[in-house]
A and B are shown apart, each in its own frame.
Chain A
Amino acid sequence: GAGVSQTPSNKVTEKGKYVELRCDPISGHTALYWYRQSLGQGPEFLIYFQGTGAADDSGLPNDRFFAVRPEGSVSTLKIQRTERGDSAVYLCASSSTGNNSPLHFGNGTRLTVT
């Protein structure tokens, strides 16, 4: 079946602009996660959804970052007033439940802020 789909695959934006990154999880997966991966590092947790609600957004670095999942399926990560330090690969993952379920990652969106 289809895996986790992320769009766009690449996004180049200017400093100060607003961007939206989209994630379409595996059908039926209730848990959805956003991670951020910088070059040479492991994924870093940003936010976790169980259904429609953000169960845990403690990993969001500041209030420029926001994510929604209005119907419990597709999620959008929104970044306002982008900074060069936001450049990274943003990974979305979904799982069938929460704790200790394997994460199924998408291929990520490579964000470059110039």
Chain B
Amino acid sequence: QQPVQSPQAVILREGEDAVINCSSSKALYSVHWYRQKHGEAPVFLMILLKGGEQKGHDKISASFNEKKQQSSLYLTASQLSYSGTYFCGTPVVPGTNDYKLSFGAGTTVTVRA
């Protein structure tokens, strides 16, 4: 069962912040985040492996709340280059760090000057 992402889309001005949420109905041991620009391959951002773990990639950070079975991605002081569709991926086999991922439907972020 694929994770649920919200919102589906968000429009920002440069410098604004945004939060993207990823929820699962099953136990999570890891969450993966990718960004895909139109017509391009998804690009790895980060993996969160433990409950409560937070990671950062430039001014993009993420948290993982194992208890709530969810992860959030934070875009801080957004730049034009942050535009794209963000996907979270969780192991297909719940409660594992399984290699095969189930991806959410994505959140499309548009950053305008």
How many B residues, CB 8 Å from partner?
25
Query: In the bound complex, do residue A100 and residue B47 qualify as a contact, i.e. CB atoms below 8 Å apart?
Result: yes
Contacts of A30-46 to chain B: CB distance below 8 A: 31, 33, 40-45
Query: In the bound complex, do residue B87 and residue A42 qualify as a contact, i.e. CB atoms below 8 Å apart?
Result: yes
Query: In the bound complex, do residue A105 and residue B104 qualify as a contact, i.e. CB atoms below 8 Å apart?
Result: no
Give the residues in chain A near B89, CB-CB below 8 Å.
42-43
How many A residues, CB 8 Å from partner?
25
State the main secondary structure of chain A at its contact with B.
loop
Name the contact of A98 in the complex, choosing from B49, B99, B105 (C-beta under 8 A): B99
Query: In the bound complex, do residue B41 and residue A42 qualify as a contact, i.e. CB atoms below 8 Å apart?
Result: no
Say how far A12's CB is from chain B's closest CB, in angstroms: 17
Measuring CB to CB, which residues of chain A are less than 8 angstroms from any residue of chain B? 3-4, 31, 33, 40-45, 48, 56, 58-59, 91, 98-100, 102-108
Measuring CB to CB, which residues of chain B are less than 8 angstroms from any residue of chain A? 2, 30, 32, 34, 39-44, 47, 49, 87, 89, 92, 97-106
Q: A33-B99, A40-B106 are in contact. List 6 more A-B contacts (CB 8 A).
A: A42-B106, A43-B87, A45-B102, A58-B100, A102-B47, A106-B41
